[in-house]
Copies of this chain bind each other. A is one copy, B any other.
Amino acid sequence: MAQSQPTLAVVGATGSVGTVMRELLSSRRNVWGEIRLIASARSAGKELPCRGEQLVVRELTADAFDGVDVAMFDVPDDVSRAWAPVAVERGVTVVDNSSAFRMDPDVPLVVPEVNQDELGRRPRGIVSNANCTTMAMIMAIAPLHREYGLRELVLASYQAVSGAGQIGVDTLHDQLTKVAGDRLLGSRPGNVRQAIGDDLGPFTAPLALNVVPWSGDLAADGWSSEELKLRNESRKILRLPDLKVSATCVRVPVVTGHSIAVHAVFGSELDAEGARQVLRNAPGVILVDDPEAGEYPMPIDAVGTDPSWVGRIRRAMDDPRALDLFITGDNMRKGAALNTVQIAELLAAEFAKSSS
């Protein structure tokens, strides 16, 4: 029986998403034979916990993929671009969490609850995982699209610092230590910048006591790469190549939990209660929509949980086909590690079928 279970590699096992991947592998129903942890040469030889064992981290080499059936990659774009094809060459199916292959027409971009059927066609041997902000949003928007026919999205994000890795988290906590306790900080021009100094970590501006309307790199016409990901990935996942999308991506001083204010225009009229009913029945979604009771989606509640939290459902007052809502999801879990693990588990199930 043990031999029939596929071998899984976790590439980038020491990173912050890799850490959540190992936690998930330790807490979910086990479908894996061997689990192999892979990272850069710097981390090779380290022992890390996974599924109740201490596993020795192997260096990322072509040989490290020998005998591997499925590999989950969480590494920078250029590392994925270089190494995913090497793994595929050795017979591995790669689930990649970078943006390197997401828009490749021969690479499916899969959210199991939304478009699992696309997993079957993967001519390059690679499956991509969506951007963390897209993921939180699409979980709630996809079921509404199936019911009402989506036409347009206007999005404003509230993105957590852990999206920039552990260095992002450390940077925010360092900055908070510098500003906490000084009651005048944030009330006078420039004094937050002065208190924080040049220690911006991976960000372009201080995050403590601030919001930063920038994430990613500069793309054409003033858009950030993060904003274009939201547009392009939503179109691909929902199979709506002409979907109208305008997004403004903003970083906020939150550790984990990306939130999105969504204005969604549909093809047919709807009402808020009908939309709530759709969301109550949607997999991977939790409806929290009772403002008088203080119930709306917030990062401090969504962190560490699997679903997208959705609330503040309102029909637009000036358009009976439009909804306004607020969504929060854990960017490390469904936004990154969880969706990757879910895809890998679907691949494991294929393996089980083909080997039985």
Q: Could you list which residues of chain A lie within 8 angstroms of chain B, going by C-beta atoms? A: 152, 154, 156, 158, 160, 162, 169-170, 173, 176-177, 179-183, 185-190, 192-193, 204-206, 209-214, 218, 221-224, 231, 242, 244-248, 250, 252-256, 259, 261, 263, 272, 289, 291-292, 294, 296-305, 311-319, 322, 324, 326
Contact = CB atoms under 8 A, between A and B. Distances in A.
Copies of this chain held together in the complex: 2
B294 A204 contact: yes
7 contacts: A169-B186, A179-B180, A189-B301, A214-B296, A246-B319, A248-B324, A252-B252
Contacts of A179: 176, 180
Contact of A173 (B173, B181, B253, B259): B181
A180 B169 contact: no
Given A158-B158, A213-B296, A214-B296, A189 B318 contact: no
Nearest to A193: B300
Contacts of A318: 152, 242, 244-246
Nearest to A210: B300
Contact of A272 (B180, B183, B222): B222
A185 B255 contact: yes
B209 A255 contact: yes
A250 B326 contact: yes
Contacts of A302: 189
Given A246-B317, A312-B213, A303 B187 contact: yes
A158 B252 contact: yes
